[in-house]
Structure 1
Amino acid sequence: MPCPHCDLELPRALASESDPSCPGCGASLTVVRVAGFWRRALAALLDAAVLALTAGPIAWGLHALMNPEPLAPGARGLGRLLTIGATDLDVLLLRIGPFTTLVAIYYLFSVLWAAQTPGQRLLAMHIVDRHGRPPGPLAAIVRTLTQIAGTLAAVLGPLWIAFDTEKRAIHDIVAGTYVVRSA
């Protein structure tokens, strides 16, 4: 993590010091604990449950109103999966569009209003920028859009947390945010 004052990359050894300060500018630093993969995964599951109970029925109702043609009429098993995989992207986006939009709204407003989703709140986490402040509107929008894209891309965005040394997902890296444990 860089120093919030001078942008110098800080060594990890500073976290074990009793009163850490930046070796470059001498500014006093606050040690934070980033939220790990399993804690964030559990928060994501809690948020998914909230979304299934709220956005799911709304999206289902919108889908019923649109009354689209079946994606793979008469196909079963692997044939159905292959038929859906060969479907035009615009048809698939029309199917998942309402739910995806509601999910994006949920995450965007959670980050803007509280710097945490309800699942993160229950597990004592919050989102900060590199200065330790809640992310601004632009960072929240970029984070949300990248989070949706990374999740739709075979969940590769959130899975990156397991491999990153700072436990940041792709959307955290792009938006310049960190998910830290609350004090």
Structure 2
Amino acid sequence: MADERDKSESIDLQEAVARSMSEPESGKATVQVVKRERPAAGSERERGRARADEDSDAPRVYVVGVWRRAAAGLVDLACVSPVLLLAAWLALRVARLPIGERFGPETLIELLLWGGAGFYGTLALCIAIALLYALIFVALTGRTPGLRLLGARVINVYGERPEWWRVVLRCLAMMLSVALAGLGLLWIGFDREKRGLHDWIAGTYVIRARPAPRAAVARSTAPA
């Protein structure tokens, strides 16, 4: 059921970079992971011939839609919440801000409006912890625990685990996606490549961990 709700579309990573993608008739989405080499010296014709040879044998994988990614995000939030709550409690105690029984919705609104350096320092600490959580897991393994549980991972435009600088850029861009009233994240549901603003900025894709079977690919890409 989760696979049907994703409603991803077939895209070729190499063609996606060139912005010239073709969509299959099937409702499920496959992404051709082109294990191409980094740009190197040589004539344009030779590089084009090499890319064509790679494309013919390139495996395909499914991209992940908004619902599966949202579920992975909730799992990650559950994983990091204990650390966030402990850090927030300690920071609020140090800043001598109201906590415990005195801390309610009205107090939270007052802190957001007039919290001062203590409150905003606590907020910045929590954001930094969440970003560090995502950065370490994605940079080292290509996926967070939430993505692992949901059977997904992050790749770059070369079909590989993203580089450190790309992961850092993706985390920073994710803050921008959230700051824009969450529109950068909601865009995943409308983008035919199932990429959010942070994915576009960093040059990443979120795909299913296992490649699509070649038989399924043949059916999904066969002409009507």
The correspondence for 2:21, drawn from 1, 11, 17, is 11
Partner of 2:214: none
Letter in 2 for 1:32: V
The correspondence for 2:160, drawn from 124, 130, 133, is 133
Question: How far 1:134 sits from its partner (Å)?
Answer: 0.7
Unpaired runs of 5+ residues, structure 2, are 1-10, 27-31, 35-47, 211-224
1:147 aligns with 2:174: yes
What whole-Å deviation, never above 9, does each CA across 1:70-113 have from its counterpart, x for those lacking one?
9xx9x976x974x5665489676324111111111101101111
Partner of 1:169: 196
What whole-Å deviation, never above 9, does each CA across 1:128-168 have from its counterpart, x for those lacking one?
00110011011010001111232243222221111111111
SS at match of 2:61: coil
Partner of 2:52: 26
Native 8 Å contact 2:139 2:162 kept in 1: yes
Partner of 1:39: 68
The separation in 2 between residues aligned to 1:9 and 1:33, in whole angstroms, is 18
Unpaired runs of 5+ residues, structure 1, are none
Letter in 1 for 2:94: L
Native 8 Å contact 1:3 1:10 kept in 2: no
- The alignment yields a C-alpha RMSD, in angstroms, of 3.3
1:108 aligns with 2:135: yes
Q: Which has the higher contact order (CA 8 A, sep 6+)?
A: 2
What whole-Å deviation, never above 9, does each CA across 1:39-90 have from its counterpart, x for those lacking one?
00000011111121222212221222222479xx9x976x974x56654896
1:65 aligns with 2:94: yes
| TM-score (norm: length of structure 1) | 0.78
The separation in 2 between residues aligned to 1:146 and 1:95, in whole angstroms, is 21
**Which protein shows a greater Rg?**
2
Native 8 Å contact 2:153 2:206 kept in 1: yes
* Cα 1:67–1:150 shift into 2, 3 Å: farther
Native 8 Å contact 1:2 1:8 kept in 2: no
The separation in 1 between residues aligned to 2:116 and 2:12, in whole angstroms, is 40
Native 8 Å contact 1:110 1:117 kept in 2: yes
The separation in 1 between residues aligned to 2:185 and 2:116, in whole angstroms, is 23
Letter in 2 for 1:149: L
The correspondence for 2:151, drawn from 108, 124, 132, is 124
Partner of 2:80: 51
* Aligned positions, number: 174
* Cα 1:67–1:61 shift into 2, 3 Å: same
Fraction of identical pairs, as percent: 27
Native 8 Å contact 1:35 1:181 kept in 2: yes
The separation in 2 between residues aligned to 1:4 and 1:89, in whole angstroms, is 48
* Cα 1:180–1:63 shift into 2, 3 Å: same
SS at match of 2:169: helix
Partner of 2:126: 99
SS at match of 1:33: strand
